[in-house]
Chain A
Amino acid sequence: MNAFISFGQSLIKSFLAVGAFGLLLLLVSCDNGPVDPGDTDDFNRETMLVNWADNIIVPSFTAFQADAEALAAATDAFVQSVSQENLDELRQEWKDAYISWQNVSMFALGKAEAIALRTRINTYPLDKEQVDSNIDGGSWNLELPSNYISQGFPALDYLLYGIGDSDAEILDLYQTGEKASNYRDYLQQVSATIYSLIQDVVIDWNQGYRDSFVQNNGNSATASVDLLINDFLFYYEKHLRAGKVGIPAGVFSSGLLPTHVEAPYKQDFSKELLLQSLDAVQNFFNGVKFGGTETGESLDSYLDYLNSIKDGADLSQLINEQFDAARAKINELPDNFAQQIETDHIPVLQAYDELQKNVVLMKVDMLQALNVNVDYVDADGD
């Protein structure tokens, strides 16, 4: 009987011990908090957000701001003194800024989303007729949504390369043509608008948005990680894969659309823009510091961490290999996509197919691994 009681007592004691240990575990983890940087076993999402904001997003926005400023200055110089030399200078600044834009286009959140940055800076194909009629009529308002398709880099592409058959003809339109002052004003305003839009975005990031972005480190559909991953995938699927390659190559239409390439008037620039945007996407995926080679926490290390939990396929490596495969295919293409599509669109489709494979890897496998929310609605996984 005594033995039975003492067995009972020791049983109760061990229950209490287990309970206390459980409580202790809770307290310890509470002490550490979910975002303790010293916790090396755990992947730190806030560090990832800091890396994204401080090493990638803000520096690349700031760099683009400088390039947009240079573009606006070169435009001013050109309209003040129309000359072949200033046109060449302006064209170079346009190319530099357009390349620089590829680094930031994917970050459509916060102010950039609120002011429709991407729509206003790079919606193509351009509505050429509307640009012509704006200039012809002599009045326009680039703030109007109806004018979003007649401004930005595509408008400059047209105004710098497309309005005449030769440089002399183009210079004439700005210098001596009947509507020369309208042409100069429109050109100047398009460049100035690009600069002012990006200024707003940079100011916003520097004045508080960066902190709220980093602090919004939860796991709802409106948390920074979820928002940016959704933006990133949307950009890759819709703007890079479809916009730059798929749509012009006729993937989504019943005919080829060579005029829908990016920078159709410059012609031999589409490939360079695509390659830059692919680099930007892959660098973001790998957390590469803007303008450097140093890497920080990003999707690749996040996937590696989650993978270490579930012991699955090495997704980050597969995705990187697929980026490389797509780049190799794109490198086989000539600089002039429009011409290639007209003569033989199959090689462009092949590049598209390689880009497409990463849509599957990222939208299905990666999203599942990250368990990112698409939208806020009740759902129970079935």
Chain B
Amino acid sequence: MNSTLSSYGSKTTDAAPLALFRILFGLMMAISILRFYLNGWIEKLYLEPAFHFTYLGFEWVKPLGGFTYFIFLICGISALLVAAGFKYRFAIVSFFLSFTYIELMDKTTYLNHYYFVSVMSFLMIFLPAHKAYSVDAARNESIRFQFIPQWSEDAIKLMLFIVYFYAGLAKLNSDWMLEAMPLKIWLPSKYATPIIGDLLQESWVHYLFSWFGAIYDLSIGFLLWNKRTVWIGFFAVVVFHLMTALLFPIGMFPFIMILSTMIFLPVSFHNRILTFFSTAFRTKGQIFKNGKKYISKANWQSQGLKYVLLLFFVLQVLIPFRYLLYPGELFWTEEGFRFSWRVMLMEKAGYTAFVIEDPDKGHRFYVENSRFLTPFQEKQMSAQADFILEYAHFLEETYKAEGIRDPKVFVESYVALNGRRSRVFVDPKVDLTTIRRSLSARDWILPFEDEIKGL
């Protein structure tokens, strides 16, 4: 066993796939940051709102006024440096930190694909992605290698495998498989889609998409990893993600996934692309074909690295299952919902009104949410319990400052999930100022009183 592991540890592979992955990842990230800026989202999502929803334990991560633009600039430049492979370790660390900081500034914008980028860039800190086709390796012969350890390429593949497979597992529930929900809500509203707009109204199409989506997610990792089926798998990736790009407002994600999964394609494919671009840019791509193997030394650093990666993947495998520690329906309470590759899984809408009670005067009044929140923030807040609680605490502080000695905050909230009728979400009798933010189960959420079977 130990010898298999150590022989796996010394196995090497061509550096081209990981190098191309680094280049494409860096470029896609730079484009994403630029797109974010051009859409005016930095202003709209981070500077305009008066209040920001934070992650537990990261309350200190806040937008920094005009300096926020600077963080995006750092992030964009780091992404370009990663692509170029210039000062790679520094660039990837800087990218990971700046990107993650941006994501932690406001929970409202949480997307699984942003988490994916953070996770991937964290992983890349530990990988020798700059040993070939990089400025670093071109300038410094001592770090130039044609072959790198197999595990470094496999780490990326394993991460991609986990993303898809867990997304597939999450779809194995009665709403998705038996009711075709939420696609039954989402697809009919895409009536203006060219060619297939009418088909999207059909019930059988909703089921077809649901089942195809689940089967795709569960099987794609196997298809890609198997040499004989890799091209079929990649074709499926392209079709699937172009379809989602057409139908859903998920921005760059489809293209990031299409380019990321290219790492599974044969080495010859990567070499052809890299040679093509080397010629196009009149650089000497041949210098990276030096036949040298980069083998991690048996020192404490590479031993430590082994444990870092091991721990990283153990956590990746376990974190999505943390919801099992909580009672109640996961989709309803969302305890342990994020960071679990539960992508495009439910349609949730809510309405949450806050009542401030002044116990000294016996007055009660409602809060005008638009005074503090943007429409997007209000929408996200209305159906998610952790948002509701954080906002309630913010209101407590706000009204204290406005002269109410000890305000109590109650909510009237209604949430509808996957096409069910709306029902009362938070217990209206609970004063939310008495509830602390924590990871413990939220007993102030009323029960779902329905069952979504499955994982």
Contact = CB atoms under 8 A, between A and B. Distances in A.
A309 B343 CA distance: 23
A228 interface: no
Nearest to A307: B419
A35 B193 CA distance: 11
A382 B249 contact: no
B175 to A, nearest CB: 11
A376 B201 CA distance: 23
A381 B414 contact: no
A176 B350 CA distance: 59
Interface stretch (B136-144, B272-280, B361-369): B361-369
B201 A378 contact: no
Interface string A10-44: 00000000000000011001101010000101110
Contacts of A380: 111-113, 248-250, 253, 343-344
A325 B344 CA distance: 37
B363 A26 contact: no
Question: Considering residues B190, B415, B422, which has the most beta carbons from chain A within 10 angstroms of its beta carbon?
Answer: B422
Contacts of A223: 192
B376 A375 contact: yes
B345 A32 contact: no
Contact of B189 (A217, A219, A242, A381): A219
Contacts of A242: 368
A114 B374 CA distance: 20
Contacts of B249: 373, 376-380
Interface of A is mostly: loop
B194 to A, nearest CB: 8
Interface in B50-81: none
Contact of A368 (B111, B349, B368): B349
Contact of A381 (B109, B198, B347): B347
B251 interface: yes
B350 to A, nearest CB: 6
A374 B379 contact: yes
Interface stretch (B94-102, B123-131, B180-188, B300-308): B180-188
A365 B422 contact: yes
Contact of A371 (B189, B201, B375): B189
B347 A253 contact: no
A379 B111 contact: yes
B342 interface: yes
Interface string B98-116: 0000000000011111000
Contact of A34 (B193, B338, B415): B193
Given A252-B365, A363-B351, A369-B419, A219 B251 contact: no
Interface residues of A, number: 50
Interface in B306-349: 337-338, 342-349
A42 B416 contact: no
A316 to B, nearest CB: 13
B120 interface: no
A364 B414 contact: yes
Nearest to A352: B366
B188 A306 contact: yes
B366 A252 contact: yes
A368 B190 contact: no
A30 B196 CA distance: 7
Given A375-B375, A378-B249, A380-B113, A368 B361 contact: no
Interface string B158-189: 00000000000000000000000110111011
B44 to A, nearest CB: 8
A219 B192 contact: yes
Nearest to B349: A368
B41 interface: yes
Contacts of B111: 378-380, 382
B376 A310 contact: no
B192 A368 contact: no
A254 B366 CA distance: 9
B197 A34 contact: yes
Contacts of B191: 34, 42, 45, 219
A241 to B, nearest CB: 11
A94 B372 CA distance: 37
B1 interface: no
A261 to B, nearest CB: 17
A253 B188 CA distance: 41
A336 to B, nearest CB: 23
B345 A309 contact: no
Contact of B198 (A34, A246, A254): A34
A218 interface: yes
Question: Considering residues B113, B337, B421, which has the most beta carbons from chain A within 10 angstroms of its beta carbon?
Answer: B421
Contacts of B195: 26, 29-30
Given A217-B192, A254-B361, A365-B421, A42 B346 contact: no
Contacts of A379: 111, 249-250
Closest 5 CB pairs of A and B: A34-B197, A371-B189, A378-B251, A368-B349, A218-B192
17 contacts: A26-B199, A29-B197, A30-B195, A45-B192, A246-B366, A252-B366, A252-B368, A363-B349, A365-B421, A368-B185, A369-B419, A378-B109, A380-B248, A380-B250, A380-B253, A381-B344, A382-B345
Given A313-B421, A370-B189, 12 more contacts: A30-B195, A42-B201, A251-B366, A310-B181, A310-B419, A360-B351, A368-B416, A377-B41, A377-B109, A377-B376, A378-B253, A381-B348
